[in-house]
Chains A and B, each alone.
Chain A
Amino acid sequence: MSDLNKLGLAEARDALRSGKTSSKELTQACLSAIEGAGALNAFVHHTPEIALAQADAADARLKADKDAPAMCGLPIGIKDLFCTKGVPSQAGSRILEGFKPEYESTVSQNLFDAGSVMLGKLNMDEFAMGSSNETSVYGNAVNPWRRGNEDTALTPGGSSGGSAAAVAADLCLAATGTDTGGSIRQPAAFTGITGIKPTYGRCSRWGIVAFASSLDQAGPMTKSVRDAAIMLEAMCGHDAKDSTSADLAVPNFEAALTGDVRGKKVGIPKEYRMDGMPEEIETLWQDGIAMMKDAGAEMVDISLPHTKYALPAYYVIAPAEASSNLARYDGVRYGHRARLEQGDGITEMYEKTRAEGFGPEVQRRVMIGTYVLSAGFYDAYYNRARRVRTLIKKDFEDVFAQGIDCILTPATPSAAFGLGEMTDADPVQMYLNDVFTVTVNLAGLPGIAVPTGQDRKGLPLGLQLIGRPWEEADLLSSAYALEQAAGFVAKPDKWW
C-alpha cells in the first residue's frame, strides 16, 4: 500500500486486520512524512524510537489477539500539553524547558494501553492560551492550507495548532487536542479536519498541564467523524485520579454512527448570527441547515439569550483559574529557574523566573486573573462571571428541555488568517475567534467541528454541532450525517 500516512484511523485499522499493512509500515510512513514537514513546525519533540518500539509491540499484539483494540498499531501525535513519561512535555512554554515527567497522563496512557503509537509531541500555544499558535515557545505552527496560489503563511488556529496542522498534512493518522474555549474545534475548522470536545468529565484531566480546570477537556482531532468516534472511545473513561472524571460507562461511539437524523430536532440559535459576520460563514451555515433538513431533521429556531456574555465571562473565569493553576511555576520543583544576582532572595527568584519563563500572553492572563480574584474585585468580577456562567448553562438546559437534540452553529467567525496579521490588534480581537465555541465549555457540553465547505480562496470552513451532556454518541451520529451530506474531501496541495 502506498501513502500509508494518508489513511484515517478506521481505514488503517481495517488494513491492519486484513494484513494489508503493519503498524511498523504505517509508523515509518508517518515518520518520513514528519521528516519532510519541518516547514509546518507541527512536531516539536520527535520520538521515533518510542514509535517503532510501540509499533513492533502492536504488530505482535495484533498477531496474537484478533480482538485487539481498534487503536492498536495506529500512529498518532500527542499535544505537548499532555505529560508523557520521560519525554519533554513543555506546554509550549519556556518555563517548562527540560521538564521530563516521571508519569504518564491518563489519556495518553489509555491510548497506549489500546496499542496506539506515539510519533512525537505537537506544537501549541503556550499553556493553551491562544487562538493562532503564535504564543508558542517553539515558534508558529503553520497551516498546510494556503489561500489559492498565495504563499502567505496562515495560522492553523490554536491552541491545538500543531495537532491540526499535523493531521491535515497527513503527518499522523490523528492527534490528541485539548479544548478550554475552542482549542480543538477552531483549529479543526481552520484546517479542514474533525475535532470533538466531549462533555466536561468524559476525559480525565490527570497529567494534562492545567490551564482552566473547570473548562479544560481533552479530545481527538481526526480525518473523519468515524475516526473521532474510534479515538474518543479509547481516550475517555473514569479515572480515580481526577475527582471531576465522570464514573459513567463509555459507549461504543462508532457503533452509534447511524447517520440517521430523521425526526431529530436541530436548534438554530439566533444569537449566533453576529453583526459583521462574513457572508461566506452565513452561507456555510445556511448550507448546513439545508443539508440537515434534507437528511430528515427538523430545524427549530431557538434562543440562547446570554450568548453575548459568554466571552466576557470566559475572560474572567479562565484567567482566574489560570492564575491559580500557574502559581505552581515558581522555579523550585521543575522547569526554568532564573539566574539570580548576589543578594536576590526567594521573591526575586519567583519574579524573575516567571518573567523569563512566561510569554506575554500568559503573563497578561495570569495578571488579569490575579486582578479579578484580588480583594475588593472578587465579587464584582469573579463571582459575577460565575453567576453569568450559571445563566449560560441554563440557556442550553432550557432548549434541551424543549426537545432540541443538538444545535448547529458556525465553528469560527472566519477562515484561517495569516500568521502575524493579528499582531497589532488588541488582545480582545484575538479572543473573538472563540465566540462560537466558548459557550460550550462554559456549559460543559460536548461540541464537534466538522469541515463542510471552503471559502472563495479555497480555505476550509467548518460547522459546529453542540450536543446534550453525555450524549456524544448521538452527537457523533448527527455529525456523521452532516459529514456525509457535505462530502468534504478537499486536501491542501503539498508545498512544504
Chain B
Amino acid sequence: MSIDPSTAARVAKLARIRVEPDALPALAQEFNTILGFIEQLEEVDVEGVEPMTSVTPQRLKRREDVVTDGDQQDKVLANAPDAREGFFAVPKVVE
C-alpha cells in the first residue's frame, strides 16, 4: 500500500487540515514510512480474535435519565473566539 500526493490531499481534506500543494509529496512520504511500520501487523494471525472494545471488563454505569447540569451559558461561551448574543458565531454556512 503506497500513498501518493493525491491520497495525502484527500486525507488532509478529511481531517480538515489545510496542506499546501507543495507540501503533499513530503507528507505522502511520511505516511508511507509510518504505514510501512504499521504493516507488520499483517504478520499476526488474528483469526477468531475479537477486537478489543474495553481494556478492563466493565459494565458502563447507568443513572436516572434526569438533567444534572446546565444553565451556564456564560461559562460555555467564555472561551469562544467569537460569541454574540448568547451564541457561537461562525462564517456564513448557507448560501
Contacts and interface: CB of A to CB of B under 8 A. Distances in A.
Contacts of B66: none
Interface in A280-338: 306, 308-309, 311-313, 315-316, 323, 327, 330-337
Interface stretch (A49-57, A123-131, A267-275, A346-354): A346-354
Contact of B44 (A306, A344, A426): A306
B65 interface: no
Contact of A388 (B35, B37, B44, B53): B44
Contact of B34 (A315, A335, A350): A315
A390 B58 contact: no
A443 B35 CA distance: 23
Given A99-B79, A200-B55, A346-B93, 11 more contacts: A100-B78, A102-B79, A240-B61, A309-B40, A335-B79, A345-B92, A345-B93, A346-B90, A364-B34, A387-B49, A426-B33
Interface in A384-435: 384-391, 393, 426-428, 431
Given A309-B40, A332-B90, A385-B41, A370 B55 contact: no
B72 to A, nearest CB: 8
A201 interface: yes
A201 B54 CA distance: 11
Contacts of A370: 11, 14-15
21 contacts: A214-B54, A244-B56, A311-B37, A312-B39, A315-B38, A316-B41, A334-B79, A345-B92, A345-B93, A350-B16, A354-B18, A370-B11, A371-B11, A384-B46, A385-B38, A386-B52, A387-B49, A390-B49, A427-B33, A428-B34, A444-B55
A113 interface: no
B37 to A, nearest CB: 5
Interface of B: 3, 8, 11-12, 14-19, 27, 30-31, 33-35, 37-44, 46, 49-56, 58, 60-61, 63, 72, 75-76, 78-82, 88, 90-93
A374 B11 contact: yes
Contact of A349 (B38, B54, B58, B91): B91
B50 A323 contact: no
A29 to B, nearest CB: 34
A367 B17 contact: yes
Contacts of A199: 56
A333 B90 contact: no
- Which 6 A-B residue pairs are closest in the complex by CB-CB distance? A444-B55, A386-B51, A334-B79, A337-B81, A387-B46, A351-B18
Contact of B55 (A99, A348, A393): A393
A200 B58 CA distance: 12
Interface in A108-125: none
Nearest to B29: A426
Interface of A: 98-102, 199-201, 214, 240, 243-244, 246-247, 306, 308-309, 311-313, 315-316, 323, 327, 330-337, 340, 344-352, 354-355, 358, 363-364, 366-368, 370-372, 374, 381, 383-391, 393, 426-428, 431, 442-444, 469
A351 B17 contact: yes
A390 B51 contact: yes
Contacts of A366: 15, 17
A476 B55 CA distance: 22
Contacts of B3: 371
Given A337-B81, A393-B52, A246 B41 contact: no
Contacts of A200: 55-56
B87 to A, nearest CB: 11
Contacts of A315: 34, 37-38
Contacts of B38: 312, 315-316, 372, 381, 385
Contacts of B81: 331-332, 334-337
A364 to B, nearest CB: 6
A201 B16 contact: no
Nearest to A332: B88
B69 to A, nearest CB: 10
A367 B90 contact: no
Contacts of A247: 61
Nearest to A369: B15
B15 A323 contact: yes
